Structure formats: structure tokens, C-alpha cells
């Protein structure tokens, strides 16, 4: 667009007195005929308009039409009315369409009818408004009946116009219209509007007009031009409707794009049984299979299919019903796929046997389908392998790593009669939760109370999106694969089952029934979006099988592209095996301390920590050595041939001991109980003594025979004394036990107190601990080398890399590494075998990054510990930040995102860049990786690629995502 020049530039004199060139005001082009547009003009024409123009250029049967630009929409919204020229250009475009169709807008003798549809740059399904059949009024209707000889069709179209216009333009709610329709359907005993007669529809049109008048105080406008103008305005305004804004917020679509308005010649799918309308995707977007997939309806208009109000037919049925049309349609689908090099989602209408294309756009798809389609399109040579890799997003791969229902539990649930029904599997994944029957409640429970919710509705509408977003899964009784519920669910990766015909949803009663069974709001159900099944109760979930052949192929292509290595953070052999299965090329971090926490080992770890003498400590370490050796043997075997980076102990010792506060509490409690017991013992002792005195006195009184006084029996007295003596014994045993426990706890407490640090995360940990307790790291290195030597002798290829954590100064490495190298050499000599090994360090303190050239004098490799590096660079503790102020910082825009999730490139990233550069200054081939959690984050992976890291290391479950993200980084 050429903008109107500011007035100041239009005309004034230049320095030499001659008038400057006068610019004429350029006319803004607000309206484009389909012939004037192109697919690349999405910004200006919106996605729908640009594609209609593109299809027109491809020679496909598109009804003539024009597009009012997104710029016109923005100008309208800014000005609060039509900017100069918009309406005039619409009128002249209308003239062109009249020419092309040979019909005339508003002329009863040969009327042109048009639709008015929204269409933003990015698809926002159903979020904005559409009005069909514009141009009808009482006279035009009569004229059209004379032309078509089909009064039923004409009044069907007319009542739809009044309803749509009434609700979209004049703001009348849908319900009163539905009530009228329902009344007529009941009256005629039909379930389908298509079975109402022309008379009914005529009467319905009149009633609809009366509703509009009653509800708004204004009559439905009979002037076609007024209809068109008001409809255009309504579409403009719908850009700022609540549901459109909510959708854009959720889909991260900017709010300043505006929507285009598409004015398209009406073609009618409701002209009898040789007419119809449908929405399909050129491949199956749930599974990716190469087959046209979707639904259509005969004798219906566009909205009927997506609205889900009538049960649709699968597109395959069209092949039987209208073979010629189907063949033409199939060809068009192929042509579109080839042209766009992408699976399309198309809308079509058949008017008395003539096929019309009303829309095409790239189809939304499930993760499974996205991967299969990308691979297939590459193999069909529509796109390159690199493009296929680029088209698959990390979240698509993520799907395969997410829980699905456990097949055994599913079978068991079925056997118990827990299967409820099966509907359409429109968005895969497993979801369990409580039933909520409306969007507000779903949002309240899901977002507000953090409960897992399944939102259930007969069908969903754009107004329901907030509830759908807050729910774990979506369930509807109506609608097809292209229904609103299905589209939104796929877009946001929510498991969904729709069109469960067996289910009757009664929203007012907050329940649904299936085959006589009733399920009420708040009850738990489970949805399998992958199969379409619905179950009662909550099912167990499992991680899906990673063996999807398309995923495996795509990741192999990614491997050939990426430059970054992908390693795993794994502590146990089972994690290492999984990592390897997922494609890990090494272990980048084994946190050895995790092994110390196991129940059979912890007592020895504590013994080691609490030891008073070197002998005591050595004895405890000697008990730990075999455990560690076995751990490492398992890792080396699992990673046979690949590097295994083992980090020496890192956390502060107090982490292996009970918490100070709990110990203090328990010591106080034990002490109180002991004092109490001791008091009781004294009391019982007194009691026994007095009972014994009583017994002696009673015995004396018993002596003179025949005395009349009543005395307690001797048995009773002896029994009571015995009971008290027993009690005394129990108490005394308890006192001894409690005393021992108390002494132990007191000992532990004083040990913990002596080790207490004000800021343990910055205290005696990492390399500092290794230097402080050399026996511990010596034991670890001995275990590593004994394991490596044993494995090597057994034919396993081992490459241990010993990693020293939290280094800040090169002298730390100089000292610790010096000792440890000696241990390594000693073990290799004992075992009489040489191992390929390296000593390296983590870079997780800013000083280490700043002096990386000095550090690299000793370290043979670096691995960025970005968790600690982020903490130490920001000077914030992660635990405190994430549970406290970090969210506030993000909400207030102080930090753009959580730096513990994605590398803070400007700060932490700068240190990394510096670390790599300085390190390689000293050691040009220095291998550098990252093993903080950022190693599995696609954005951080791209950064690691940019700064020249050799590999990223992440949790086994992130490996496939990291492989893909690394390829994306290399393709940028």
C-alpha cells in the first residue's frame, strides 16, 4: 500500500524559491478482486483471501469475489467507522462480480447473493463472524423462487440470512431462533431442518424477522447494500470480540493484525440431493495416513458441517453418491497439495452437481500425523528431508514421550465394564479428570483449583475456548473431525473425543447418559484421544512406545543434519539404556551422589561423614566402594563404546544427614519422654513399696484366727504387686532404649550443627568438598577406574570422563586433579591395563568462565552446569526464586522468561561464550558441552549450537527432542 503522504510534504517552496514537486494524494487500495491477489499476500488479504486468490490463479473453480484488506479493518477500528474509499471500492468490486456472474445484487429478476466472511492472517477457527446469503429480501426471494423453482431452498437460505444477520450483526442470541426451529421440527416430526417444507421455512423466516425486531427494536434491513455494509462492519468488529481476543492470547497471535473480509458469490449446497457441502483434509490429520479425510452433508449449507448440529457423512461416501464430482475433487486435492507442498484443509460446496472450492489452508494435525506427513511428503519429493525435519516441531516429538493409557489397565477396565462409549479420535493422548459441563466451571476447576477436568458438551463453540484450554481433555456428543471441538483440541494438543453419538448430554441437569448409565458432574472419566474411547474412572498411564517408524526415520534425518552431539544425564544403568535407545551418544552427567541416597548405602555414607578418626572414615568408604564400582560397571556396559562422564560428589554433606530442625524436634521429644518415664518409674517404685508394706501389715492381721475383720485376699495383693513390678520393668527397658536413641540423635544433632552453613548452596560442596575430604573422591575415582578396567578386560569399550564440579579457581583443579590422577594411575597399574580417560570440570561459577583459559590448563573438557551458573550469575537461589518471586518478575515483564528453563543469553550466555573462547585459546580442541537442564530446551539448544558447543546433555526423555532441536539449529 502506498500511504497518503503527510500534508507538510505536499507543497511548499524550496530554497531557491521554485515550488517543490507537488505529490498527489495516492489512493489506498482497500479492496482486491480474487484475480488481483496472490497467496503471498496473507498479511494484507488474510489467509483465506490470499488462498482464494491463489486458487483462482490456479484455475480452480472458485466463485467470483473480492477481499477487503486487513488494513481496512485496522483503519476502521482506529477511526470507528469506514475510512474514505473502503465502501466505494467495495461497491465497484461488487460491480465486477456482477459482470463475472451475470447476476445483479438486489435485482429480483436475476439476483446475486454473497457471503461475507472473516479471514485473518492466521487461522482462528470460528472465532470471528460470517454472514451467508446476503442480498435476500422479500422481493428477491420471490424472484429467486421464480428462477430456481425451489421455494424450499430459497426460504431455507433466507431464514439462515435473518438468523445469521440477527446474531452476528444485530447481536441477537442464538437460542430464540433455535427454539422456533425446534418447534417446527417437533411439529413435523422430523429431526433434520432439511426435512422442513418451504411453507415452514417461509413462516420461520417471518418469525425470525419478528424476533430480530422484538429483540433489537430494529427491523431486519431489506436493502441488500445496507446488509452488505453492516455485515462488513460486523466482521471488522468481531476482530475485537472477547472470544477472538482470548483465542489470540492463547495462540500467541498479535492483536494488531486485523482481519480481512471476504465477499464471495454464494453457491448453494442446499439445492437438493445433487448439492452438498463438506470440509476435508487432503490426508488424515489424526494419523497422517494418505487418504482424503473429512465429512460432508448433502442438501446443506457450509455452517451445518462445522457446527456439528447434523450428523455428517464420511467423505468416502461421496465417491458412491457423486462419483464424477468426487473424481474432480480428488484431483483438485492432489493439485493443491502439490502446489502448497503441504496437506490442505479445504471447504467445498456442490451446487446442483457443480463443484466449488470455498477455502484451502494448511491443515492442522496431531503430532503423530505431523511426523508421518513430513516424512511422506519428503519421500514423495514434495519437500526435502531438511524441510521435513524443519516442519516437525519439538512438541510433536514430545507427544511420543508423554503418557498414554496403560493397555493392561485399559483392558482390565473394559473387562470390569468400565468402557462407556467410543466416538471420533480427533486429538490423541490420554486424559482423566472430573466432568465439567460448561466452560466457566471447567476453567474454575482446572485453572483455579488445579483439578484435572474433562470438559463435556453436546458440541463446543468459540465461546467455550477458555474452558477447553483449562481442561485436560474434551468430550462432545456431536460434531465431526472438523468440528470446532476437534480443531481447537488439535491446535492446543488436548486429547479429545467428539461425536459420541451414544451419549446424551443434558447440560441443564449436569449429566450425560449412555445406554441407561448416568454420569454426573464431578465424576471422573478417562478419554483416549488416540482411539476415541471413553472410560469410567481414572486409568493408569504409560509412556508410549518410541518405535514409531516415521519418528525414527525423521530423527535419523535430523541426526544427519545436526552438528551438536546429544548426550544424556543418567545416573543408573536403566536410565543409560533408555537414553541410548532414544539416541544418546554418550553420558554427559552422572550425578554420583544420587547413589549415596539408597537405603542400604546411606548408613555407610553417614558413618563416613560422622567418623571421628581416619580409620573409621576409611572403613565406611571401603564399604561404599563396591557399591560405586557396581554402579559404574553397569553404566560402562550400557554405554559400551560411548563416553561416560561421571561427576564426583557435589552437594553439601548435610544433605545426607537428617534435617537439623527435625533432629532438634526429635531430641526434644525424646528428652521429654525420657524425663516423663523416669518420673513414672519413681511413682511406680513408691507404689510397689507401699503395696508391699500393705501386704506385710495384712499378713499380720490375718494371724489371729477367727478374727471378724474383712481383709483383701493375698492373691489379689500379690497380683497387683506383680503387675506394678512388670510395669516398672517395661518402663526401665524403655528408658534404656530411649536413652540410646536420644544419645544417637544428640550425636547426629551436634554433627549436623557443626556442619551447618548459612548458605549451603554456596558452601562446602563441589570441588571444595573433594579437597576437604580427599578420601571420598579418592574412593570414587578408584571405583570408576576399577570398574573401567574390569569392563575393558571383559571386552567393553570404556571412555570414562571424570568431572569435577563447581570449580572457581584453577588451583582447585591443580590440587584435586593431581591427587586423583595418582589414584587413576595406581588402579590401572594394579589392574595392568590402560584406559582412555579424561579429567575435566564443570563451569558453573562465573569466575570459572571468566578464567576459562587458566582452568583449561588442567581441565581436558568443560561442561557448563547452567543450573548453578544461572543461580550464581543472577545471584538468586533457584528454589527460592521458582517458588517465590520469579513468577512475579515474569508477570511484570522484568524477566522475559524463566532463566532456569531457557538460557539467559545476554548474561549466562555471554559467560558461556567467553568460557568456550578462553578455554579453546588454551586448548584448541577442548570439548565443551552443557549438562544443566537447559540441555533439553530447544531454544537453549539453538544457543549452544551458536556458541560452538560440542554437545548438549539432557534427561533421557528429552533426547529425541534435543536431536530434532539440534538439527533445527543447524538449519537456521
Using CB under 6 A as the binding rule, whether residue 404 contacts ligand PEP is answered as no
Q: By rule CB under 5 A, what string of x and - marks binding of each residue 830-849 to Mg ion?
A: --------------x-----
Which secondary structure element, helix H or strand E, spans residue 144, and what is its range?
Answer: helix 138-148
DSSP of 373-407: HHHHHHHTTSS-HHHHHHHS-HHHHHHTTS-EE-H
Residue 589 contacts which entry, ligand PEP, Mg ion, none (Cβ below 5-8 A, type-dependent)? ligand PEP
Sole window of 8-16, 239-247, 445-453, 865-873 interacting with ligand PEP (rule: CB under 6 A): 865-873
- Interface residue with ligand PEP among 860, 867, 877, 898 (CB under 6 A) is 867
- If the CB atoms of residues 663 and 886 are measured against ligand PEP, the closer one turns out to be 886
Cell of 692: 508391699
**Cα distances (angstroms) measured from residue 889 to each of 873, 878, 898:** 17, 13, 9
Q: How open is the CA angle 120-126-130, to the nearest 5 degrees? A: 75
Identify the active-site residue in 202, 396, 466, 484.
484
Sole window of 157-165, 393-401, 679-687, 862-870 interacting with ligand PEP (rule: CB under 6 A): 862-870
Q: Please check whether residue 119 is in contact with residue 260, taking contact to mean a CB–CB distance below 8 angstroms.
A: yes
CA distance 631 to 617: 21
Question: With CB under 6 A, what is the number of residues at the site for ligand PEP?
Answer: 10
CA-based nearest residue to 460, from 481, 440, 443, 439: 439
- If the CB atoms of residues 379 and 879 are measured against ligand PEP, the closer one turns out to be 879
Cell of 291: 487418504
Using CB under 6 A as the binding rule, whether residue 868 contacts ligand PEP is answered as yes
Helix/strand/coil (H/E/C) assignment for every residue in 202-218: HHHHHHHHHHHHHHHCC
Cell of 925: 580442541
- If the CB atoms of residues 163 and 873 are measured against ligand PEP, the closer one turns out to be 873
Using CB under 5 A as the binding rule, whether residue 935 contacts Mg ion is answered as no
CB of 825 to ligand PEP, least distance (A): 28
CA-based nearest residue to 788, from 761, 760, 823, 763: 823
Residue 932 contacts which entry, ligand PEP, Mg ion, none (Cβ below 5-8 A, type-dependent)? ligand PEP
Using CB under 6 A as the binding rule, whether residue 768 contacts ligand PEP is answered as no
Residue 591 contacts which entry, Mg ion, ligand PEP, none (Cβ below 5-8 A, type-dependent)? ligand PEP
Within 609-668, the residues that bind ligand PEP by CB under 6 A are 650
Using CB under 6 A as the binding rule, whether residue 898 contacts ligand PEP is answered as no
Max Cα–Cα distance, the chain, nearest Å? 155
CA distance 858 to 880: 34
Cell of 624: 561404599
Measured in degrees and rounded to the nearest 5, phi and psi for residue 591 equal -85, 100
- If the CB atoms of residues 235 and 931 are measured against ligand PEP, the closer one turns out to be 931
CB of 656 to Mg ion, least distance (A): 17
Within 134-163, the residues that bind Mg ion by CB under 5 A are none
- Interface residue with ligand PEP among 844, 854, 904, 937 (CB under 6 A) is 844
CB of 558 to ligand PEP, least distance (A): 25
Residue 480 contacts which entry, ligand PEP, Mg ion, none (Cβ below 5-8 A, type-dependent)? none
Q: How open is the CA angle 124-127-131, to the nearest 5 degrees? A: 115
**Cα distances (angstroms) measured from residue 181 to each of 176, 207, 214, 458, 505:** 9, 10, 17, 18, 20
DSSP of 565-594: EEEEE-SSHHHHHHHHHTT--SEEEEETHH
Distant-in-sequence, close-in-space partners of 546: CB < 8 Å, separation ≥ 6: 400, 401, 581, 582, 960
Helical spans, DSSP H, in 416-504: 439-443, 465-470, 484-492
Residue for cell digits 519428503?
378
CB of 885 to Mg ion, least distance (A): 22
CB of 903 to ligand PEP, least distance (A): 11
Would residue 931 show up in a list of annotated catalytic residues for this protein?
A: yes
Residue 631 contacts which entry, ligand PEP, Mg ion, none (Cβ below 5-8 A, type-dependent)? none
- If the CB atoms of residues 351 and 868 are measured against ligand PEP, the closer one turns out to be 868
Distant-in-sequence, close-in-space partners of 393: CB < 8 Å, separation ≥ 6: 370
Sole window of 106-114, 403-411, 597-605, 866-874 interacting with ligand PEP (rule: CB under 6 A): 866-874
Q: Please check whether residue 812 is in contact with residue 767, taking contact to mean a CB–CB distance below 8 angstroms.
A: yes
Closest residue to Mg ion: CB criterion: 868
CA distance 157 to 138: 12
- Interface residue with ligand PEP among 288, 446, 932, 960 (CB under 6 A) is 932
Sole window of 335-343, 474-482, 777-785, 863-871 interacting with ligand PEP (rule: CB under 6 A): 863-871
Within 429-458, the residues that bind ligand PEP by CB under 6 A are none
Residue for cell digits 543447524?
970
CB of 604 to Mg ion, least distance (A): 24
CB of 868 to Mg ion, least distance (A): 4
CA distance 530 to 368: 10
CB of 569 to ligand PEP, least distance (A): 7
Within 557-596, the residues that bind ligand PEP by CB under 6 A are 589, 591
Go through the chain and tell me how many residues it has. 972
HSE, CB side, 13 Å, CA atoms: give it for residue 743: 5
- If the CB atoms of residues 302 and 932 are measured against ligand PEP, the closer one turns out to be 932
Residue 404 contacts which entry, ligand PEP, Mg ion, none (Cβ below 5-8 A, type-dependent)? none
CB of 923 to ligand PEP, least distance (A): 22
Identify the active-site residue in 73, 333, 931, 944.
931
- If the CB atoms of residues 631 and 650 are measured against ligand PEP, the closer one turns out to be 650
Sole window of 380-388, 614-622, 743-751, 860-868 interacting with ligand PEP (rule: CB under 6 A): 860-868
Which sign does the torsion angle of CA 827, 831, 834, 836 carry? negative
CB of 797 to Mg ion, least distance (A): 29
Within 858-897, the residues that bind Mg ion by CB under 5 A are 865, 868
- If the CB atoms of residues 278 and 865 are measured against Mg ion, the closer one turns out to be 865
Question: With CB under 5 A, what is the number of residues at the site for Mg ion?
Answer: 3
Q: Give 3-state DSSP helix, strand, coil % of the chain, rounded to 5.
A: 50, 15, 30
Residue 879 CA from chain centroid, whole number:
23
CB of 807 to ligand PEP, least distance (A): 12
- If the CB atoms of residues 58 and 762 are measured against Mg ion, the closer one turns out to be 762
CA-based nearest residue to 282, from 323, 338, 351: 338
CB of 931 to ligand PEP, least distance (A): 5
Using CB under 6 A as the binding rule, whether residue 372 contacts ligand PEP is answered as no
Residue 904 contacts which entry, Mg ion, ligand PEP, none (Cβ below 5-8 A, type-dependent)? none
- If the CB atoms of residues 90 and 868 are measured against Mg ion, the closer one turns out to be 868
349: exposed, middle or buried (Cβ count in 10 Å: 0-12, 13-18, 19+): buried
- Where are the strands (E) in 245-292, listed by range? 259-265, 276-281
- If the CB atoms of residues 479 and 935 are measured against ligand PEP, the closer one turns out to be 935
Using CB under 6 A as the binding rule, whether residue 931 contacts ligand PEP is answered as yes
Would residue 944 show up in a list of annotated catalytic residues for this protein?
A: no
Binding site for Mg ion (CB under 5 A): 844, 865, 868
Q: Which residues are catalytic?
A: 484, 931
Which residues contact ligand PEP (rule: CB under 6 A)? Answer: 589, 591, 650, 844, 865-868, 931-932
Amino acid at each position: 500500500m502506498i500511504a497518503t503522504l503527510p500534508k507538510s510534504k505536499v507543497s511548499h517552496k524550496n530554497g531557491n524559491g521554485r515550488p517543490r514537486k507537488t505529490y498527489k494524494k495516492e489512493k489506498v487500495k482497500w479492496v482486491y478482486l480474487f484475480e488481483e491477489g496472490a497467496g503471498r499476500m496473507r498479511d494484507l488479504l488474510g489467509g483465506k483471501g490470499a488462498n482464494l486468490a491463489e486458487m483462482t490463479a490456479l484455475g480452480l473453480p472458485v466463485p467470483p469475489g473480492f477481499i477487503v484488506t486487513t488494513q481496512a479493518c485496522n483503519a476502521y477500528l482506529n477511526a470507528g467507522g469506514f475510512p474514505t474509499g473502503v465502501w466505494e471500492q467495495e461497491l465497484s468490486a461488487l460491480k465486477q462480480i456482477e459482470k463475472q456472474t451475470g447476476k445483479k445484487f438486489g435485482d429480483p429478476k436475476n439476483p446475486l447473493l454473497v457471503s461475507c466472511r472473516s479471514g485473518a492472517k492466521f487461522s482462528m477457527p470460528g472465532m470471528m463472524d460470517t454472514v451467508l446469503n446476503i442480498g435476500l429480501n422479500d422481493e428477491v426471494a420471490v424472484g429467486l423462487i421464480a428462477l430456481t423453482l425451489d421455494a424450499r431452498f430459497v426460504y431455507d437460505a433466507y431464514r439462515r440470512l435473518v438468523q445469521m444477520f440477527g446474531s452476528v450483526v444485530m447481536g441477537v442470541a442464538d437460542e430464540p431462533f433455535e427454539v422456533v426451529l425446534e418447534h417446527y421440527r417437533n411439529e413435523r416430526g422430523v429431526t433434520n431442518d432439511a426435512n422442513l417444507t418451504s411453507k415452514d421455512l417461509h413462516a420461520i423466516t417471518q418469525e425470525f424477522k419478528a424476533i430480530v425486531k422484538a429483540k433489537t427494536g430494529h427491523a431486519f434491513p431489506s436493502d441488500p447494500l445496507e446488509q452488505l455494509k453492516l455485515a462488513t462492519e460486523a466482521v471488522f468488529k468481531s476482530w475485537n470480540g472477547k472470544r477472538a481476543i482470548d483465542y489470540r492470547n492463547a495462540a500467541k497471535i498479535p492483536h494488531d493484525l486485523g482481519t480481512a473480509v471476504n465477499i464471495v458469490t454464494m453457491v448453494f449446497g442446499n439445492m437438493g440431493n445433487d448439492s452438498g457441502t463438506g470440509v476435508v483434509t487432503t490426508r488424515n490429520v489424526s494419523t497422517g495416513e494418505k487418504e482424503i479425510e473429512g465429512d460432508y452433508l448433502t442438501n446443506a449449507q457450509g455452517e451445518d458441517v462445522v457446527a456439528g448440529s447434523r450428523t455428517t457423512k464420511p467423505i468416502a461416501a461421496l465417491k458412491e453418491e457423486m462419483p464424477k464430482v468426487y473424481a474432480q475433487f480428488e484431483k483438485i486435492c492432489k493439485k493443491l497439495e502439490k502446489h502448497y507442498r503441504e496437506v490442505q484443509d479445504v471447504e467445498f460446496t456442490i451446487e446442483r452437481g457443480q463443484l466449488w472450492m470455498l477455502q484451502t489452508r494448511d491443515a492442522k494435525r496431531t503430532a503423530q500425523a505431523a511426523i508421518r506427513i513430513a516424512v511422506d511428503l519428503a519421500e514423495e519429493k514434495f519437500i526435502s528431508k531438511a524441510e521435513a525435519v524443519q516442519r516437525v516441531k519439538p512438541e510433536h516429538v514430545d507427544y511420543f514421550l508423554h503418557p498414554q493409557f496403560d493397555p493392561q489397565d485399559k483392558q482390565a477396565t473394559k473387562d470390569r465394564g468400565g468402557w462407556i462409549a467410543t466416538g471420533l479420535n480427533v486429538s490423541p493422548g490420554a486424559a482423566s479428570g472430573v466432568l465439567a459441563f460448561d466452560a466457566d466451571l471447567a476453567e474454575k476447576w482446572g485453572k483455579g483449583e488445579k483439578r484435572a477436568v474433562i470438559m463435556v458438551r453436546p458440541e463446543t463453540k468459540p465461546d467455550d475456548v477458555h474452558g477447553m484450554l483449562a481442561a485436560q481433555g474434551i468430550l462432545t456428543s456431536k460434531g465431526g473431525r472438523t468440528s470446532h471441538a476437534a480443531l481447537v483440541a488439535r491446535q492446543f494438543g488436548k486429547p479429545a473425543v467428539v461425536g459420541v453419538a451414544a451419549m446424551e448430554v443434558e447440560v441443564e441437569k449436569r449429566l450425560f447418559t449412555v445406554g441407561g448409565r448416568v454420569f454426573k458432574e464431578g465424576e471422573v472419566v478417562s478419554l483416549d484421544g488416540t482411539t476415541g474411547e471413553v472410560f469410567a474412572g481414572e486409568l493408569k498411564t504409560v509412556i508410549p512406545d518410541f518405535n514409531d517408524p516415521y519418528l525414527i526415520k525423521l530423527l535419523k534425518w535430523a541426526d544427519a543434519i545436526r552438528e551438536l552431539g546429544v548426550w544424556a544425564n543418567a545416573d543408573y544403568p536403566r536410565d543409560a539404556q533408555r537414553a541410548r535407545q532414544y539416541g544418546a551418544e554418550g553420558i554427559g552427567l552422572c550425578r554420583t551422589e544420587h547413589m549415596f541416597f539408597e537405603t542400604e548405602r546411606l548408613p555407610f555414607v553417614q558413618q563416613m561423614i560422622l567418623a571421628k578418626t581416619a580409620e573409621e572414615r576409611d572403613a565406611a568408604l571401603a564399604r561404599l566402594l563396591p557399591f560405586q564400582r557396581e554402579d559404574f560397571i553397569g553404566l560402562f556396559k550400557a554405554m559400551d563404546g560411548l563416553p561416560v562422564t561421571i561427576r564426583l560428589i557435589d552437594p553439601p554433606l548435610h544433605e545426607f544427614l537428617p534435617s537439623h530442625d527435625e533432629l532438634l524436634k526429635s531430641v526434644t521429644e525424646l528428652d521429654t519422654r525420657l524425663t516423663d518415664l523416669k518420673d513414672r518409674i519413681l511413682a511406680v517404685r513408691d507404689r510397689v513399696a507401699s503395696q508391699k508394706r500393705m501386704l506385710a501389715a495384712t499378713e499380720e492381721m490375718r494371724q489371729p484366727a477367727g478374727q471378724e475383720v474383712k481383709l483383701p485376699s493375698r492373691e489379689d495383693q500379690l497380683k497387683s504387686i506383680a503387675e506394678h513390678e512388670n510395669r516398672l520393668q517395661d518402663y526401665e527397658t524403655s528408658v534404656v532404649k530411649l536413652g540410646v536413641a536420644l544419645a544417637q540423635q544428640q550425636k547426629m544433632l551436634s554433627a549436623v550443627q557443626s556442619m551447618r552453613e548459612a548458605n549451603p548452596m554456596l558452601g562446602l560442596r563441589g570441588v571444595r568438598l573433594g579437597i576437604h575430604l580427599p578420601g571420598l573422591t579418592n574412593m570414587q575415582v578408584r571405583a570408576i577406574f576399577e570398574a573401567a578396567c574390569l569392563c575393558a578386560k571383559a571386552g567393553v569399550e570404556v571412555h570414562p570422563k571424570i568431572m569435577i564440579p563447581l570449580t572457581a579457581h584453577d588451583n582447585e583443579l591443580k590440587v584435586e586433579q593431581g591427587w586423583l590422577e595418582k589414584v587413576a594411575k595406581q588402579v590401572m597399574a594394579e589392574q595392568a591395563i590402560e584406559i582412555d580417560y579424561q579429567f575435566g570440570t564443570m563451569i558453573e561459577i562465573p569466575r570459572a568462565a571468566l578464567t576459562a583459559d587458566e582452568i583449561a590448563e588442567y581441565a581436558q573438557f568443560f561442561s557448563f552446569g547452567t543450573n548453578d551458573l544461572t543461580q550464581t550469575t543472577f545471584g538468586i537461589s533457584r528454589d527460592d526464586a521458582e517458588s517465590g518471586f520469579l513468577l512475579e518478575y515474569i508477570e511484570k515483564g522484568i524477566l522475559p522468561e524463566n532463566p532456569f528453563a531457557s538460557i539467559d543469553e545476554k548474561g549466562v550466555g555471554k559467560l558461556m561464550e567467553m568460557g568456550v573462547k578462553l578455554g579453546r585459546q588454551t586448548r584448541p580442541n577442548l570439548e565443551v558441552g552443557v549438562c544443566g537442564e537447559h540441555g533439553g530446551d530447544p531454544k537453549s539448544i539453538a544457543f549452544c549450537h551458536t556458541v560452538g558447543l560440542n554437545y548438549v546433555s539432557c534427561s533421557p526423555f528429552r533426547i529425541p527432542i534435543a536431536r530434532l532441536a539440534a538439527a533445527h539449529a543447524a538449519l537456521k
